[in-house]
């Protein structure tokens, strides 16, 4: 891990942000989506900034995939107006790697994916009349996601999946943020979060010809951090999130989507004192996925902040390469 601090002090009152990269994998039959969430975290992330189209589309059993992603995010961070910190700017570069698999769970279509990112962060801001900067580099928190279809998506062989007619589906997922990221309790700005977090979510999809309409609703729940910036005790309220997506399928392995997300909550408490940092923000973006040969696919995504009360207001670019294969092939 590399850590560099320049200027009179760390950005000790800087708020947190996260940048999300995700990949949706098309199948060799029609299509399926198994999102791999690669989150980049800095000192208490705004987890709900995830924007992932086709996260609950049914898929055939026995599909495996390896993923590599790269992304860049930059922009400002809005803080509590009472704090003496202004003009916070940050740049994040991330590389992520993961593995996923589809399978049957209680007779329903299901999938699981595990991802681990490597993060590069450069941030700067004014503390009073002084300008300070900080850099971090290291392994970020891992994410494990398990999703299962509840309505409209039974477990299917590849042959059955190829013959199915698109229908309305309802799915649910559980995402676990595993605190594997590098963390130093004497620093406020960190790659890792030093706490577990869990997200539960429901996802509804409705096909209309070549169009797909999607709506998700979920919430992040956070463990307390007992070693926050010098051994302080930090708590965070649940963070509610909602996503909406409209996508168009050009052919079975090529599609484009317009995306939006809104998240609210996540107020923190430090040593029993509530902070004025409740988030109420939104983002919008676009995603394009295309095949590269029989087993590879490329995905490009772009998103930016639409409205920001507290927290990050970033523009994010990402690209991912995925390799998929069936069991026994």
Question: 114-144 pLDDT, tens per residue?
Answer: 999 999 999 888 877 788 888 999 999 999 9
pLDDT at 23 over 60: no
Query: How far is C-alpha 44 from the chain's CA centre?
Result: 14
Distance CA 124, CA 77 (A): 10
Tokens of 177: 């943020």
Residue 12: the pLDDT is: 31
Model confidence over 135-168: pLDDT tens digits? 999 999 999 999 999 999 999 998 998 888 999 9
Residue 312: the pLDDT is: 74
CA nearest neighbour of 199 among 152, 141, 137: 141
Model confidence over 70-114: pLDDT tens digits? 999 998 877 666 666 778 888 999 999 999 999 999 999 999 999
Residue 21: the pLDDT is: 27
Quick one: average pLDDT of 280-305?
Answer: 94
At 227 the three-state DSSP class reads strand
Quick one: average pLDDT of 263-277?
Answer: 92
Residue 238: the pLDDT is: 97
Tokens of 154: 């039974």
Q: Which helix (H) or strand (E) holds 158?
A: helix 158-163
Residue 162: the pLDDT is: 87
Distance CA 50, CA 37 (A): 8
Tokens of 179: 């605190």
Query: Is 88:58 a contact under the CB 8 Å cutoff?
Result: no
Percent of the chain with pLDDT over 70: 83
Residue 80: the pLDDT is: 63
Distance CA 114, CA 4 (A): 30
Model confidence over 208-255: pLDDT tens digits? 999 999 999 999 999 999 999 889 999 999 999 999 999 999 998 899
Q: Which helix (H) or strand (E) holds 160?
A: helix 158-163
Query: Is 32:134 a contact under the CB 8 Å cutoff?
Result: no
pLDDT at 6 over 70: no
b/e per residue 122-146 (b: at least 16 CB within 10 A): bbbbebeeeebebbbbbebbbbebe
Name which residue leads in pLDDT, 329 or 5: 329
Q: What are phi and psi of 257, to 5 degrees?
A: -140, 145
Query: Mean pLDDT of all residues in the chain?
Result: 83
In the chain, where the domains are located: 2-326
Q: Which CATH superfamily is domain 2-326 in?
A: Autotransporter beta-domain (2.40.128.130)
Percent of the chain with pLDDT over 90: 64
């Amino acid at each position: 891990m590399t850590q560099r601090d320049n200027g009179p002090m760390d950005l000790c009152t800087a708020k947190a942000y996260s940048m999300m990269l995700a990949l949706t994998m098309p199948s060799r039959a029609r299509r399926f989506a198994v999102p791999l969430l690669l989150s980049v975290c800095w000192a208490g992330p705004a987890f709900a900034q995830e924007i992932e189209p086709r996260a609950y589309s049914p898929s055939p059993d026995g599909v495996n995939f390896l993923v590599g992603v790269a992304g860049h995010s930059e922009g400002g961070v809005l803080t509590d107006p009472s704090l003496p910190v202004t003009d916070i700017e940050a740049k994040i570069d991330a590389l992520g790697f993961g593995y996923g698999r589809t399978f049957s769970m209680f007779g329903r279509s299901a999938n699981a994916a595990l991802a681990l990112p490597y993060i590069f962060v450069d941030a700067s801001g004014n503390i009073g009349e002084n300008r300070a900067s900080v850099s971090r580099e290291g392994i970020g928190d891992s994410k494990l996601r398990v999703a299962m279809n509840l309505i409209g998506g039974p477990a299917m062989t590849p042959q059955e999946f190829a013959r199915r007619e698109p229908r309305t589906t309802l799915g649910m997922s559980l995402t676990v943020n595993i605190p594997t990221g590098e963390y130093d309790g004497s620093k406020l700005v960190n790659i890792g979060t030093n706490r577990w977090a869990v997200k539960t979510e429901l996802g509804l999809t409705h096909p209309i010809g070549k169009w797909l309409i999607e709506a998700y609703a979920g919430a992040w729940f956070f463990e307390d951090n007992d070693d926050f910036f010098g051994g302080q005790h930090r708590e965070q309220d649940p963070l509610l999130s909602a996503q909406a997506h409209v996508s168009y399928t050009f052919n079975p392995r090529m599609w484009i989507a317009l995306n939006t997300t809104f998240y609210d909550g996540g107020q923190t408490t430090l040593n029993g004192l509530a902070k004025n940092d409740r988030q109420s923000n939104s983002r919008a973006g676009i995603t394009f996925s295309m095949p590269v040969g029989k087993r590879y696919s490329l995905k490009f995504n772009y998103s930016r902040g639409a409205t920001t009360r507290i927290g990050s207001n970033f523009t994010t670019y990402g690209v991912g390469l995925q390799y998929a294969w069936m069991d026994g092939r």
